[in-house]
């Protein structure tokens, strides 16, 4: 059961990551300065949407074999992309990064994604159809990486090959730190949970002292309520 849950989790998280990428590329398409760039981002976004569909379909096939109580936890919900960190509350990457850094980000992350899919390939090795679908996705990722590289070299010709390597090393390190940070956050969450619960318990005791019965507005003209009051 634990293995199955891990499998579902990998598929859900990968689908979420791909969906996040699709939205990032769509945002890049909409803010492009040239129609040729917009075309590239559009096609990239379309591919990422299709990858999401593939992973959700693999997830769905596995989750329907599970008891409903467990399967319910693996429903895909696009709003959770914010809390899972696949999208930032501050905006899309294209809105917060310089264009050069954004392209570098795509260049390195597509390669890293391809590498991570090799791990997923091992998980689905017994299923011919899923294996093929993931191999196709890996090819797409390599193609996206190639486009980003081409773009990079065309528009930033002064960049040396070592600089591309530097970008990759930087992103790899960032990804590792992200994973460590995520792990620590979860660990801290577990360790500190009793404290949070205790704080919540005392917090709510204080709140219980606040009399909310006067919040009842029956018989009152709602337009006369104070408009600067948050209560």
Partner 1 sequence: MYLGISCYNHESAAALIDNNGNLINYYREESLSRVKSDKSFPKRSIKKIFEENSLNTENIRSICFYEKPLSAFLIPLKTALKHIPKSLDLISNQFRNFDKSSLSCYLDISRSFPGLENKILYVDHHLSHTLTALVYSQKKNNLCSLVVDGFGDRSTTSISFVNSPYEINELWSCDYPVSLGLFYSAITDFLGFQVNEGEFKVMGLASYGNSNSKISKKVSKLLYWDDKYKKIQLNMDFFDYHVSLENSFSPKLKSLIGEPRNPFLPLKLNDKNFQHYADIAAGAQEAIINILLNLFEYSYQITGSRNFLFSGGVAMNSASIEKIAKLPFIDEIIIPPSPGDAGSAIGAAYYSFLKCNKNFSSKIVLPKLFPSIYSYNNQKKLTKKIISRNFEKISDRMDESYKKVGELISSGEVIGISVGNSETGPRALGNRSLICDGSNHDAVNFLNTSIKNRSPFRPTAPCMQLNIAKKYYELQPALMQAYKSMGATCRCKNGTNSNSFPTSHVDKTARIQIVEKDTILNDLLEILKKYDIEILANSSLNLSGDPTCFDLIDGLMVCARSPLRYILTDFGLFKSKY
Chain residues in the site for partner 1 (CB under 8 A): 23, 26-27, 29-30, 32, 35-36, 38-39, 42, 45-46, 49-50, 59-60, 63-64, 66-69, 71-72, 74-79, 81-82, 87, 89, 91, 193, 196-197, 199-201, 203-205, 207-208, 210, 212, 215-223, 225, 227-231
Nearer to partner 1 by C-beta: 83 or 163?
83
Query: What is the CB neighbour count within 10 angstroms for residue 188?
Result: 10
In the complex, what is the shortest distance from the CB of residue 203 to partner 1, in angstroms, rounded to a whole number? Answer: 5
In the complex, what is the shortest distance from the CB of residue 86 to partner 1, in angstroms, rounded to a whole number? Answer: 10
Nearer to partner 1 by C-beta: 160 or 227?
227
In the complex, what is the shortest distance from the CB of residue 30 to partner 1, in angstroms, rounded to a whole number? Answer: 6
Nearer to partner 1 by C-beta: 27 or 120?
27
In the complex, what is the shortest distance from the CB of residue 70 to partner 1, in angstroms, rounded to a whole number? Answer: 9
What 4-11 contacts at long range (C-beta under 8 Å, 24+ apart), as own/partner pairs, is 4/62, 4/65, 4/66, 5/70, 7/62, 7/123, 8/59, 8/62, 8/63, 8/66, 8/70, 8/71, 8/74, 9/74, 10/120, 10/123, 11/55, 11/56, 11/58, 11/59, 11/62, 11/74
Nearer to partner 1 by C-beta: 169 or 199?
199
In the complex, what is the shortest distance from the CB of residue 112 to partner 1, in angstroms, rounded to a whole number? Answer: 24
- What is the residue-wise DSSP string for 15-62? HHHHHHHHHHHHHHHHT-SSHHHHHHHHHHHHHHHHHHHHHHHHHHHH
């Amino acid at each position: 059961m634990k293995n199955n849950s891990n499998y579902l989790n990998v598929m859900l998280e990968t689908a979420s990551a791909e969906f996040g990428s699709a939205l990032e590329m769509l945002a890049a398409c909409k803010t492009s300065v040239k129609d040729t760039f917009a075309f590239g981002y559009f096609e990239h976004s379309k591919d990422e949407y299709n990858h999401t569909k593939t992973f959700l379909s693999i997830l769905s096939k596995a989750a329907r074999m599970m008891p409903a109580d467990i399967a319910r936890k693996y429903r895909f919900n696009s709003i959770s992309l914010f809390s899972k960190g696949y999208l930032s509350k501050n905006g899309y990457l294209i809105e917060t990064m310089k264009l050069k850094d954004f392209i570098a980000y795509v260049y390195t992350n597509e390669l890293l994604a391809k590498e991570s899919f090799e791990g997923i390939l091992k998980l689905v090795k017994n299923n011919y159809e899923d294996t093929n679908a993931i191999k196709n996705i890996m090819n797409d990722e390599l193609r996206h990486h190639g486009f980003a590289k081409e773009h990079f070299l065309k528009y930033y010709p002064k960049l040396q090959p070592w600089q591309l390597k530097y970008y990759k090393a930087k992103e790899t390190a960032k990804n590792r730190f992200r994973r460590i940070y995520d792990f620590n956050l979860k660990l801290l969450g577990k360790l500190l949970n009793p404290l949070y619960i205790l704080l919540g318990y005392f917090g709510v005791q204080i709140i219980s002292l606040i009399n909310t019965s006067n919040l009842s507005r029956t018989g009152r003209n709602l337009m006369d309520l104070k408009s600067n009051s948050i209560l």
